[in-house]
Chain A
């Protein structure tokens, strides 16, 4: 019940495409859902996060869509660029705990 399932494992898109990465959870106590971007040899960098009281959040080219009833959330990257090539992790946490539960990661490659 503590797992966060992430798909796909890897994704290749053309420049300008809109990659979509999906995550699903079981624990209804989760109330904070961040996305992290990680480049090789670097630490995860916070991209965008959402709480269950909204269904969508946009920051620049990054959008999170949230479906509370389905217990799913997804990251969309608009107008993707080669510089977006990285591994993306979704995560979840609840107010009663301090820890993040991470998904397994999606390796994105954006072709020039």
Chain B
């Protein structure tokens, strides 16, 4: 069964450093998303991406964040200058319509 994959599974970085989280969505899907989940809290929407551009973003997704689909298979989330409060699980999701979204296993980002 096709699935969304994410790398790395765990990333530790120092405050102020740039990180890139990578995702490989399900191959025939057209819509891509990033969500985050701070430990013990609910999953929060960050950004959606369709047709090579951002469709929608939340207030969390400020100028420190960017997304890119550098080739036909990868979808990346970049955080330019990480803060302590960026520590969370980051989930990539994809869908072939706007309804059913399939989530990857997540990247645990720890900012020290």
Selected contact of B99 from candidates A32, A36, A43, CB within 8 Å:
A32
Give the complex CA separation of A9 and B1 in angstroms: 32
Q: Does A61 contact B (CB under 8 A)?
A: no
Are B100 and A42 closer than 8 Å at their CB atoms? no
Residue on B nearest A42 in the bound complex, by CB: B105
**A97-B56, A99-B48, A101-B45 known; A43 and B33 CB under 8 Å?**
no
Residue on A nearest B92 in the bound complex, by CB: A43
Q: Does A52 contact B (CB under 8 A)?
A: no
Most buried by B among A36, A41, A42, A44: A44
Q: List residues of chain B with CB within 8 A of the CB of A49.
A: 99-100
Q: List residues of chain B with CB within 8 A of the CB of A104.
A: 41-42
Q: List residues of chain A with CB within 8 A of the CB of B45.
A: 99-101
Q: List residues of chain A with CB within 8 A of the CB of B98.
A: 93, 95, 97-98
Residue on A nearest B105 in the bound complex, by CB: A43
Residue on B nearest A101 in the bound complex, by CB: B45
Are B48 and A98 closer than 8 Å at their CB atoms? yes
Count CB-based A-B contacts (< 8 Å): 57
**A98-B31, A98-B55 known; A43 and B106 CB under 8 Å?**
yes
Contacts of A66-112 to chain B: CB distance below 8 A: 89, 91, 93, 95, 97-105
Most buried by A among B4, B48, B58: B48
Q: List residues of chain B with CB within 8 A of the CB of A91.
A: 43
Q: List residues of chain A with CB within 8 A of the CB of B104.
A: 43
Give the complex CA separation of A98 and B106 in angstroms: 20
Q: Does A46 contact B (CB under 8 A)?
A: yes
Selected contact of A42 from candidates B33, B55, B102, B106, CB within 8 Å:
B106
Chain B contact residues, CB within 8 Å of chain A: 4, 31, 33, 35, 41-45, 48, 50, 55-56, 58, 91, 98-106
